[in-house]
Structure 1
Amino acid sequence: MKYFRNMILGWLCVCLIGACSDFLEEKSQDEVLVKTASDYSELLLGYMGYSDCWGLLYLLSDETRLDDNQYWGDGNTDDATGISYRDYYTWQPDMWEGTSSSETNCYKEMYELIMGVNAVLDGIDDAEGDQATKDRVKAEALGLRGFYYHFLVNVFGEPYNCNRQALGVPLKLTAALLENGIARNTVEKVYDQIVKDLEQSSELFRQYPKQRGDYRINGTVVDILLSRVYLYMERWDEAIAAANRAIETSEGLTDYTKMNAGDEFVMASYTHSEVEWVYGKAKMRPILFVPSEKLMEVLEGKKDCRKTFWIKKDEILNQIQITKIDRYDLTELYNTIRISEAYLNRAEAYVLSEQANKNTLALDDLNRLRHHRIIGYTDVSIVDEEDLLNAIREERYAELCFEGHRWFDLRRYGMPSITHDYKIRKNAPWETYTLREKDPLYTLPIPTSMFTNNIQLEQNASANELRRVGIIK
């Protein structure tokens, strides 16, 4: 799929350079053309979240740690397994140019996805075909663009609730090439565009019956994303409204307490009622890492089925496996957007809103989710509002682990200090690396290779930080 996507992207680039206004016109009978709504639908499928970027987020957060039992190859050389991820894992300012540079370039990859989506949006209104198909393709494309810009602005821009006037990322809303590049927009401006895209997408989807599966987004996915974006923007009532729409149109939470503990668990499957979208892939093999001690403490309850299904230990190899993301279907897609997020987004928004009975409503969402995760669970009653908010956020840490949420959540929680332990080879000492409270590296530097073709780009202050040095334990 990625080869097909890149081939089409290259073809679009050539056409756009040669003739932006008529690049879809027929040139010869042998040429592959994109002119019908169905053609655009097939083209868009190649841009449905297929990227190497998602694994970066749990390398940065407090979800993972290196494990001595499974981290090493031969155990003695400097070519230790995992060195490719060291600069991400230790928050180095030159992470894109150091040992990790061969792994991925999330800035470039996201804009490649956006370029393909923009090409669809540029042409879909004039495509041949029925209006319903064109509307659905447009809804999918707008939803994807909002999703990709949400990733970019939360990686390369400061948190919205910290400094919305800080530089975000360039807003590129057409596939046409710009000779002199494009400047960065503010975080607020990027969020405004994300909301505009997602709201328009949601409205289009609501006109037609819901479709679920085939690795495509739908209206429920878009409303989950809207509830997430509004939560980050601290627009509580709008977050609640979007979550309400998502929950009303969902297939319902999957009840883990009724699943057989002996069954092999595959998260990225539409057989789970709560899974609304399967996307992405893992270039970063999670077998190199294990859940952090902090995460394991949250999941430690013996009757919490999430630990049973998501994290298992191979007794023969003495290895912990994150089965939540270390089991692939044949397409190598492993990320999901699930309706459980909508419940958590809504619960948190309730607590922070001014709505009547807000804490009761938030508790209802928290207890409902836990009933589907913990065998024999009994409803809890939390009176103190701060305790309730902390309980919801801790539940979010557990429920959404390794799904690209925790790093973004840490940013909006105030960017607390976290640490990672690392060692270069088995016989070397462990070293502790610290991401300080409100550390500049909570906003990642833009890869320097991106400045070649965009002379208007400005770099983040985090690029000027000194390389991080570990403290021997």
Structure 2
Amino acid sequence: MKVLKLYMMMLIVGMCCSCDEYLEVKNYGQVLPETDEDYATLINNQLSAIDKGTAGAANMLGSFAWIIELECYSDNLNTSLMTSNALSYIYVGTNVNSAQYRFMNYYSLIKDYNIIIDNLKERDTELGKKILATAYAMRGVMYFNLMRECCEAYEKDRATEIMGVPNVEHFDIEAKPGRGNIQELVNFIVRDLETAIQMNQTDEQYRFTADVARAYLARTYFWAQDWKNAIKMAKEVLDKYPLVEGDEYKEMIQSPQGKLGDMLFRTFITGSLTAYNRNLKNVKTRPVNMSLINLFPEKERDIRYTTFFDSKYFSTKGIRVCVRAAEMCLILAESYAHLSDTDNALIYLNLLRSKRIADYVPYTVATLPTVNESDVIKTDATGAKLTPLMSAVLNERRKEMFMEGDRWFELKRNGSPEFWVGYNFVKYTTEKYLYTFPLRKADLIANENLVQNPGYENL
């Protein structure tokens, strides 16, 4: 009976997928895994896709094309001055229809983690423990990405009002889960990542080690404005993975493949460079916005300035999806700033700058740059007006995380500001609702308990 129910559920899931995906799910559902080696195959298929960086789980974590797309949505690249239409993403509204499929695609991956977590029998073997810990970690990571993409930005005062996504952790063919709220989703993600950390999976072959889970837990607490826990997790990671600098940093940033320097995790370790090089070439059709260039007053003394841009201000930085120590350092700086601990905020802000700028001069409260009133971001994540310290932290993050798909989510997290770009004498405005991607209409029809995100009711 259990086999039949799982088979029927996977058949239903397949009906929401493309024809090829449906056949894959259907065929798999005819024979459930039995041994831990069988369950390992489910995980290894996804890990292989991540290593190649081109399909499946890699697409949801961020393919090259997706990272570039996010950069085009943000204010990092200049749409008005693009030299060709090799990158067709004028602004986020251009690709809303394709973005709606991401919701469905996440759940097609989550299906495998749920099968493992629910049905793996050999949980006490070394292999079984690794498979189970990886399944919990990957499920937490995918739900974290779902939260950033398909839920409105977290607001502490409205956390029980903002819609989450269905927290599906078991198969039930009769169930049609609703969305719940974003705080319930945060709690769900935290529980999965904490479970993975407790299982202490350290085999790099499975990519999602306990340290990677810690980094994603720091990201989750940070997104949910739990500053104290974000500090705790980020500090654990940064203490173990200290910041690299100089040539080691440059090699880490520019290497098209491999997990180098202070990276904890990276997609695209073994895949073909053809697609990578094509995307790098496409990026050079859209110059970097001067608002970003102007954040480098030290110019050539900042290794990022000479590594990230050419003389015409086109990007020369490698495209990557990774988790690395600099992000943890920035989480620490901002979290301390939100807690009004200026001294510690400056310590971590200056720590990062000391690793990037030759002969750098540490910031003090008195020497922090004034807030640029023309910046797109006007308020911080809590809705408060930017202070010089918060502005400096956000600007440092914009510089450090350029071409890593981060800026779009930073805009969303910090007020979801509306801004516009012009192209071919047409004005395109990124309205607030566009920061949250829509659900597919077919999913809403199949499950009447799902509710569309605001702004997309007529999609």
Q: Would you call these one fold, judging by a TM-score over 0.5?
A: yes
The answer to whether the Cα contact below 8 Å between 1:257 and 1:375 also exists between their aligned partners in 2 is no
Residue 321 (str. 1) matches residue 307 (str. 2): no
User: Unaligned regions of 5+ residues in structure 2, if any?
Assistant: 1-18, 51-56, 269-274, 369-385
CA distance in 2, matches of 1:269, 1:127: 32
Residue matched to 1:198: 193
Residue matched to 2:32: 23
The answer to whether the Cα contact below 8 Å between 1:440 and 1:462 also exists between their aligned partners in 2 is yes
Residue 109 (str. 1) matches residue 105 (str. 2): yes
Q: CA deviation at 1:12?
A: 4.7
Secondary structure of 1:91's counterpart equals helix
Secondary structure of 1:434's counterpart equals strand
Could you tell me which amino acid in structure 2 is paired with residue 415 of structure 1?
S
User: Unaligned regions of 5+ residues in structure 1, if any?
Assistant: 1-5, 26-32, 73-80, 326-333, 424-428, 467-473
Q: CA deviation at 1:265?
A: 2.1
Q: CA deviation at 1:240?
A: 0.7
CA distance in 2, matches of 1:104, 1:336: 24
Residue matched to 1:50: 58
CA distance in 1, matches of 2:246, 2:235: 23
Secondary structure of 1:460's counterpart equals coil
CA distance in 2, matches of 1:398, 1:200: 34
Residue matched to 1:422: 423
CA distance in 2, matches of 1:106, 1:227: 24
Residue matched to 2:328: 342
CA distance in 2, matches of 1:229, 1:403: 18
The answer to whether the Cα contact below 8 Å between 1:265 and 1:310 also exists between their aligned partners in 2 is no
Q: CA deviation at 1:264?
A: 9.3
Change (3 A) 1:211 1:361: farther
Q: CA deviation at 1:399?
A: 0.9
Residue 286 (str. 1) matches residue 283 (str. 2): yes
What TM-score comes out, normalization by structure 1 length? 0.74
Residue matched to 2:215: 224
1:215-262 CA-partner distances (Å, limit 9, x unpaired): 712222221211121112121111111012111222x2121366679x
CA distance in 2, matches of 1:117, 1:47: 15
CA distance in 2, matches of 1:394, 1:305: 16
CA distance in 1, matches of 2:335, 2:81: 40
Change (3 A) 1:449 1:336: same
Q: 1:82 aligns with which of 84, 87, 90?
A: 87
Secondary structure of 1:170's counterpart equals coil
What is the correspondence of 1:251-266 to structure 2 with a 5 Å cutoff?
Answer: 252-256=242-246, 265-266=254-255
Residue matched to 2:264: 276
The answer to whether the Cα contact below 8 Å between 2:137 and 2:196 also exists between their aligned partners in 1 is yes
Residue matched to 1:158: 152
Residue matched to 1:77: none
Secondary structure of 1:276's counterpart equals strand
Residue matched to 2:173: 178
1:79-131 CA-partner distances (Å, limit 9, x unpaired): xx433x34xx1526xx443xxx4x8832222222222332332333x137x63
Counting aligned pairs with the same residue, the percent is 22
CA distance in 2, matches of 1:378, 1:172: 50
Residue matched to 1:367: 350
Q: 2:441 aligns with which of 448, 452, 455?
A: 448
The answer to whether the Cα contact below 8 Å between 2:267 and 2:321 also exists between their aligned partners in 1 is yes
CA distance in 2, matches of 1:386, 1:324: 32
Change (3 A) 1:55 1:153: farther
Residue 377 (str. 1) matches residue 360 (str. 2): yes
Q: CA RMSD in A?
A: 3.4
CA distance in 1, matches of 2:259, 2:337: 31
The answer to whether the Cα contact below 8 Å between 1:159 and 1:411 also exists between their aligned partners in 2 is yes
Q: 2:235 aligns with which of 235, 244, 248?
A: 244
Q: 2:132 aligns with which of 138, 153, 169?
A: 138
What is the correspondence of 1:431-442 to structure 2 with a 5 Å cutoff?
Answer: 431-436=426-431, 439-442=432-435
Could you tell me which amino acid in structure 2 is paired with residue 338 of structure 1?
R
Could you tell me which amino acid in structure 2 is paired with residue 377 of structure 1?
Y
1:113-160 CA-partner distances (Å, limit 9, x unpaired): 222332332333x137x6333223222222221121111122221111
Could you tell me which amino acid in structure 2 is paired with residue 190 of structure 1?
L
Change (3 A) 1:417 1:120: same
Secondary structure of 2:363's counterpart equals coil
Q: CA deviation at 1:40?
A: 5.1
Change (3 A) 1:319 1:380: closer
CA distance in 2, matches of 1:465, 1:287: 36
Could you tell me which amino acid in structure 1 is paired with residue 47 of structure 2?
L
